[in-house]
Structure 1
Amino acid sequence: MQLYSEHYVSQKTERFVNKIWCLDNSIGESLIENKLVLPNGCFNLAFVTGNSIEVHTSKAKYEMNEGVYFCSQMTNKVLVNIYPKTKVTIIQFHTWTLSMFPKYDLSNFTDSIIKINPEELPFKIQIGSDIEIILNTINTYFEALFDLHSEKNTIEKICEIIRLHQDEISVSEIGKLLNLSQRLLQIKFKTATGLTIKKYIQILKFRKSVDQMVNSDLEKLKLTDIALYNKYFDQSHFIRKFKDVTKITPKTFDPNSYFLSHKR
């Protein structure tokens, strides 16, 4: 049995959905505990079947029994325990996707999880559905959304500017590019994501650093190199920011303890 797997959506859907990932302990007889997940700037919609999964965020412990759950932006590492006979299928939304539904105000919603009524979702997925059915449903809905919204909204434009900018960019520079005030940008972004623009940039920078650490030989690529490449002031600054999220130093980071994306 493969505990962690990833499944990818169509090219159009990928504008809104990064991937679908599964944590499968459905035939397991024992608790899988102390696995970790890192923040990545995405929202997650989790479908839990079987017993339950226990999730510890920086704010609270959540016992997620069978049902559908909306997971906010995370700003620190998350600890996960998966009980026997449990499977979790998770749809991972890009940062800007929820801004397509402006009735949601997420200003004060980070590091949190809520159980939701699946009838309230704009697409219909039965709990326990096969991954192919889920992929087909998600692709059908978001491909239509892609065609309906050919123009990018402000949140998507902000994220695109940050992602494509080679150097770390300030809020004032983003404002000039979009011809909007810093205050309006910050309000719009926090309402749609729960994060400040600065915090979002920090999360992306952190994840890029982790990817470099995991996919390179640290004996050849020194921490100083990673720090400077990702626009930290120096190695000490990088270590301090790394500890803020993970509570450990980069040197003691063990990738095998984490669910890290296969997708590049």
Structure 2
Amino acid sequence: MQLYSEHYVTQKTERFVNKIWCLDNSIGESLIENKLVLPNGCFNLAFVTGNSIEVHTSKAKYEMNEGVYFCSQMTNKVLVNIHPKTKVTIVQLHTWALSLFPNYDLSDFTDSIIKINLEELPFKIQIDSNIEIILNTINTNFEALSDLNTEKNTIEKICEIIKNQDSEISVSEISTVLKTSQRLLQIKFKTATGLTIKKYIQILKFRKSVDQMVSSDLEKLKLTDIALYNKYFDQSHFIKKFKDVTKTTPKTFDPDSYFLSHKR
């Protein structure tokens, strides 16, 4: 049995959905415990079937029994325990996906999880469906959503500017590009994501650093190189920010304890 797997959506759907990933302990007889997940700037829609999964965020402990859950932006590592006979299928939504639904105010919603009714989803789905059916449902609905929203909104534009920038960009520079006041951008972004623009930039920078560490030989690639490449002031600054999120140092970081993205 493969505990962790990733499944990829169509190119058009990828505008809003990064990927679908599964944590599958459905035929397991024992608890899988103390697995960790890092923040990555995405929201997650989780379909839990079977028994339950236990998730510890920096704010609370959540016992997620069978059902549908919406997971906010995470700013610190998350600890996961997966009970026997349990499967979790997770739709990873890009930062701007929820901004297409302006009735949602997520200003104070970070490091949190809420259970929602299946009827609240904008598409019909059976949460115990196999991955092919779930992929098809997600692709069909988000491709249609993309067709209905050909113009990028402000949140998507902000994220695109940040992603395409080689150096770290300030809110002031983003406001200049978009010809909008900094205050208005900050309010819109916080309402749509729960994060400040600065915090979002920090999360992306941190995750990029971790991915670089994991895919490199630290004996050859020094921490100073990673720090400077990812626009930290110096190695000490990088180590401090790393410990803020993981509670450990880069040298003692154990990738096997984490669910980390596969290289594509």
* TM-score in same-fold range (> 0.5): yes
Report the secondary structure of 1:261's partner residue: coil
In the alignment, what sits opposite 1:218?
218
Report the secondary structure of 2:27's partner residue: coil
State how far apart, in whole Å, the 2-side matches of 1:60 and 1:110 are.
11
> What amino acid is the match of 1:208?
K
In the alignment, what sits opposite 2:76?
76
In the alignment, what sits opposite 2:192?
192
State how far apart, in whole Å, the 1-side matches of 2:128 and 2:147 are.
29
In the alignment, what sits opposite 1:116?
116
Q: Any unmatched runs of 5+ in structure 1?
A: none
State how far apart, in whole Å, the 2-side matches of 1:175 and 1:6 are.
36
In the alignment, what sits opposite 2:24?
24
Q: Which runs of 4+ in 1 moved over 2 A?
A: none
In the alignment, what sits opposite 1:11?
11
Q: Deviations over 1:125-178 (max 9, x none)?
A: 112011111111111001111111111000000000000000000000000000
Report the secondary structure of 1:251's partner residue: helix
TM-score by length of structure 2 reads: 0.99
TM-score by length of structure 1 reads: 0.99
CA RMSD of aligned residues (A): 0.5
Paired residues for 1:15-164 under 5 Å: 15-164=15-164
What is the identity percentage for the equivalent residue pairs of Structure 1 and Structure 2? 89
> What amino acid is the match of 2:91?
I
State how far apart, in whole Å, the 2-side matches of 1:82 and 1:57 are.
15
In the alignment, what sits opposite 2:205?
205
> What amino acid is the match of 2:22?
C
Q: Deviations over 1:175-225 (max 9, x none)?
A: 000000000000000000000000000000000000110000000000000
Q: Number of paired residues? A: 264
> What amino acid is the match of 1:17?
V
Q: Any unmatched runs of 5+ in structure 2?
A: none
> What amino acid is the match of 1:240?
K
